[in-house]
Copies of this chain bind each other. A is one copy, B any other.
């Protein structure tokens, strides 16, 4: 957006992509300490509590920020955000109408706790971060010129609702926090081995048998709709992941003959392997299921998984072996995997969806369409993998350094995994290759995470990823980041997000549980 204040006062300008907005109800006031020149704080290994960023609490840092001495008081009774005459959007644009109202609340409410559950709609985040209060609760903003846009287009959070069921409330809270940190993709790893909480209209037995509980631990059509709409109003795409052919144990409970029967020698054992690609029923099932999924999730992309396929069960099954022979695959089970994946990709393409896949699908030589997005997750050889994938011309997103389910003592956003400092384009390749890295994802896998601890484990650690994916490449000064992020963390708490502390200190409004 391009926001500007008109009328009695010189303009506060926040220029960004999108529509033009007008601010009313600002009155000129005296300059304050917050209007300072940019200085570069010293760099530390582990940030301390006592530095202060010249950029206040801005997070992620916009592309360019210029303050000057003037500030304005915001008159709550008269303050309005309006569409300017140059805007292509008008009253009635749901996303902006909702965002205006929501951010009015964020700007003026002294505590957002009571209303945090379901505020309406996203945007204006930067503007709201510029507003501060003096000791008499007057809301102030300094004259500021900001030009802003994200460095990467894909800024995702992965949540996993299979290892533990995540209540809808927790997912909505995650979407709120994502909008505060300018993430724009919810990668919803919705089903996996452990449970199948997605309630399919076409195949209701999948959740009936495969969910932890068929009533309380599922996502109904209306739950999914609510989550998608809540996300849409906050500028967040929802990309569901239906991971096959591995990671599908829970699918087998409600869909007979979908999984491969494993054998002990001549005898069927009591275990099942990946999806069985040797029978036609599998593809009939997938066609119907992905047709439904394509309609339920409006985003242009579906994540098809494809990671960690174990060949041992396929190897043991006589039908699969016969299928291998008749298709001339020999004993190369990667060819069988490729056959399966290509069939699924064709099914999804027929529904006019693009797809994302985990890196193994590419690594194993599966033929994938040119517009496939390859997600790199393996920690070893990240740089080589990025080079390989982009050399082959594929778009890629980076997840490997940002597995936030891995926790360690202390400020791990700057330690071991280098959550904050990882540079996604730091690999050997041409400029064209670098451009193919379109973003990344902070992944919170669910083995040790549910509604009790998801939010404090994700925030503000994911905020570090958020700034890496949004701000300029050289925005890497830890002391400055620490100063802004501690304030941003307190703002998140004030807006109802129990983001955990980064180090000793306090917030004016603490989270009370």
Residues of A within 8 A of B (CB): 163-165, 167, 169-170, 173, 194-195, 212-213, 216-217, 405-410, 446-453, 455-457, 493, 498-506, 508, 510-513
Structural contact, A167 and B510, CB atoms closer than 8 A:
yes
Q: Find out whether the CB atom of B212 lies under 8 angstroms from the CB atom of A506.
A: yes
Question: Are the C-beta atoms of A511 and B194 separated by less than 8 Å?
Answer: no
Residues of B within 8 A of A508 (CB): 213, 216
Contact B194 A450 (CB under 8 A): no
In the bound complex, how far is the Cα of B508 from the Cα of A316, in angstroms? 37
Set of chain B residues within 8 Å of A405, measured between Cβ atoms:
409
Copies in the assembly, this chain: 2
Q: How far is the CB of A27 from chain B (nearest CB, A)?
A: 29
Q: Contact between A213 and B506 (Cβ–Cβ < 8 Å)?
A: yes
8 contacts between A and B (CB under 8 A): A165-B506, A167-B513, A408-B409, A410-B448, A448-B503, A449-B500, A449-B501, A452-B456
Give the docked Cα–Cα distance between A379 and B164 (Å).
Answer: 34
Q: Is the CB of B410 within 8 A of A408?
A: no
How far, in whole Å, are A508 and B214 apart by their CA atoms in the complex? 11
Considering the chains assembled together, what is the distance between the CA atoms of A190 and B409 in angstroms? Answer: 22
Asked if B504 and A163 sit within 8 Å, CB to CB, the answer is yes
CB closest chain-B residue, reference A452:
B498
A452 to chain B minimum Cβ distance, whole angstroms, is: 4
Question: In chain B, what residue has the closest Cβ to A167?
Answer: B512
| B-side contacts of A457, CB under 8 Å | 453
> Distance (Å) between the CB of A113 and the closest chain B CB?
12
B451 touches A511 (CB 8 A): yes
With A and B bound together, what is the CA distance between A505 and B226 in angstroms? 25
Verify B169–A513 contact, CB threshold 8 A.
Answer: yes
**Residue in B closest to A497 when the chains form the complex, CB atoms:** B452
Within the complex, the shortest CB–CB distance from A446 to chain B, in Å, comes to 7
Q: Please, how many angstroms separate the alpha-carbon atoms of A447 and B170 in the complex? A: 26
Residues of B within 8 A of A493 (CB): 452
Most buried by B among A164, A212, A407, A506: A506
